[in-house]
Amino acid sequence: MAKHTVTLIPGDGIGTETTEAMQKVLAAAGADIEWEVALAGAGVMEEYGTPLPESTIEAVKRNKVAIKGPITTPVGTGFRSVNVALRKTLDLYVCLRPVFSIPGAGGRYNDVDLVIVRENSEDLYAGVEFAEGTQEAADLIEFCEKAGAGAIRPDSGISIKPISITGTQNIVRYAFDYAVAQGRKKVTAVHKANIMKHSDGLFLREARKVAEEYPQIEFDDKIVDAFCMNMVIDPSQFDVIVFPNLYGDIASDLAAGMVGGLGIAPGANIGKDYAVFEAVHGSAPDIAGQNKANPTAEILSAAMMLDHLGEQECAARIRKAVREVYEEGKWLTGDIRWATGSSEPACSCTEFTDALIRALG
Ligand code: ATP
């Protein structure tokens, strides 16, 4: 295996525990990686005066590939979310989240195998917001009324939902290119175009146009509420699913819940120049520092990173070992014991990691 240099951002909360577990598993799997550790989050505020130091962004740019733990955004730092800021700064416009059943992980379905492709830079997540009672909110309310767009109560807070042609074409094209490259058969676009005609309507219209460029891939669309119902009734009807930002965020947790929960849901943020891999879950402050976290999501995110680095064999070894540990069912963390309704004692993050390393032989 070739040597790779990767930026590691341990993050905070359970991030320090899950990323340490991930490093141990990659070493046991024979991945030849030099880790360049870069810091972000609440813990670095005092030293750097910001939760996202410039040196951390530079480290990702230098190595082009990074893996991170979750980052809690400290209140009053000028950041709505450090994670969102990192995605914006590096133009990581794709959020890629494969969702698959792992037997023994407590999922309600055994046959889930789909991929969520979430737009990562626009929509209500763009952070264009006006607090209630401000002059800006009052001006906007007046503007909307004058433009005949409708009355807004004067005591409203306002969040703007921008969805662009460029952003939509980029994400939908990524979804189709991914489907072609991975031998997948169908792309579904999810929206609420019947109500939000100029944002979701644009998303659907552009998605249909891009779909015409890929006649070999089946295309359909679903209104987001119907999508949720269909997903819960029969997830096997979905293959690659492309979402605007907010619906993709919500659908990611829905899908994770169907296969066993956030503890096993991996993900990646991908742009034209850089890729940052990270679990779907947040910093889980309720269990942080207690050696209770399930590191599977971080480890499977690392397997995605190995695929990206061209190390598919090593990635496959790790996925196989994960399946073996879950199938054996002896060493499972608390979230999975809960999801499976088991009264067996939960193992620690470290015990799970050791079991996985044994499975890797
Ligand atoms: P964010 O807003 O950053 O997504 P959140 O507070 O909404 O974060 P998470 O931190 O992702 O949510 O997790 C919600 C709960 O799920 C946690 O409090 C924890 O109990 C559980 N959880 C999440 N990830 C894990 C994990 N890896 N292992 C065990 N439990 C987890």
The reply to whether 253 belongs to the active site is no
Quote the Cα angle for 74-80-83, to 5°: 80
pLDDT score, position 293: 98
pLDDT score, position 218: 98
Q: Convert the pLDDT of each residue in 197-209 to its tens digit.
A: 999 999 999 999 9
Output the CA 293–ligand 1 centroid distance in Å: 9
Give the distance, in angstroms, between the CA of residue 338 and the centroid of all CA atoms in the same chain. 23
Cβ neighbors of 121 (< 8 A, separation 6 or more) are: 87, 88, 91, 92, 93, 167, 245
- Please work out whether the CB of residue 294 comes within 6 Å of at least one atom of ligand 1: yes
Catalytic residue among 12, 123, 249, 335: 249
What's the CA gap between 318 and 82, in Å, rounded? 29
- Please work out whether the CB of residue 308 comes within 6 Å of at least one atom of ligand 1: no
pLDDT score, position 73: 80
The reply to whether 225 belongs to the active site is yes
Sequential pLDDT tens for the chain (361 residues):
789 999 999 999 999 999 999 999 999 999 999 999 999 988 888 888 888 999 999 999 999 999 999 998 877 767 778 888 899 999 999 999 999 999 999 999 988 999 999 999 999 988 899 999 999 999 999 999 999 988 999 999 999 999 999 999 999 999 999 999 999 999 999 999 999 999 999 999 999 999 999 999 999 999 999 999 999 999 999 999 999 999 999 999 999 999 999 999 999 999 999 999 999 999 999 999 999 999 999 999 999 999 999 999 999 999 999 999 999 999 999 999 999 999 999 999 999 999 999 999 8
User: What is the best residue among 281, 290, 322, 332 to mutate for testing ligand 1's pocket, by most ligand atoms within 8 Å of CB?
Assistant: 281
Model confidence, pTM? 0.92
Q: Considering only CA atoms, which residue is closest to atom 8 of ligand 1?
A: 282
Q: Considering only CA atoms, which residue is closest to atom 16 of ligand 1?
A: 284
The reply to whether 125 belongs to the active site is yes
pLDDT score, position 166: 98
Output the CA 140–ligand 1 centroid distance in Å: 36
Q: Convert the pLDDT of each residue in 92-111 to its tens digit.
A: 999 999 999 999 999 999 88
What's the CA gap between 42 and 278, in Å, rounded? 18
Q: How many Cβ atoms from other residues are within 10 Å of residue 148's Cβ?
A: 6
Question: HSE of 312 in the Cβ direction (CA atoms, 13 Å)?
Answer: 2
pLDDT score, position 57: 96
The reply to whether 192 belongs to the active site is yes
pLDDT score, position 283: 93
Output the CA 234–ligand 1 centroid distance in Å: 26
Cα end-to-end span (Å), the chain: 18
Output the CA 14–ligand 1 centroid distance in Å: 9
Q: Considering only CA atoms, which residue is closest to atom 1 of ligand 1?
A: 282
pLDDT score, position 75: 75
- Please work out whether the CB of residue 283 comes within 6 Å of at least one atom of ligand 1: yes
Output the CA 270–ligand 1 centroid distance in Å: 22
pLDDT score, position 45: 83
- Please work out whether the CB of residue 262 comes within 6 Å of at least one atom of ligand 1: yes
Q: Convert the pLDDT of each residue in 113-156 to its tens digit.
A: 999 999 999 999 888 999 999 999 999 999 999 999 889 999 99
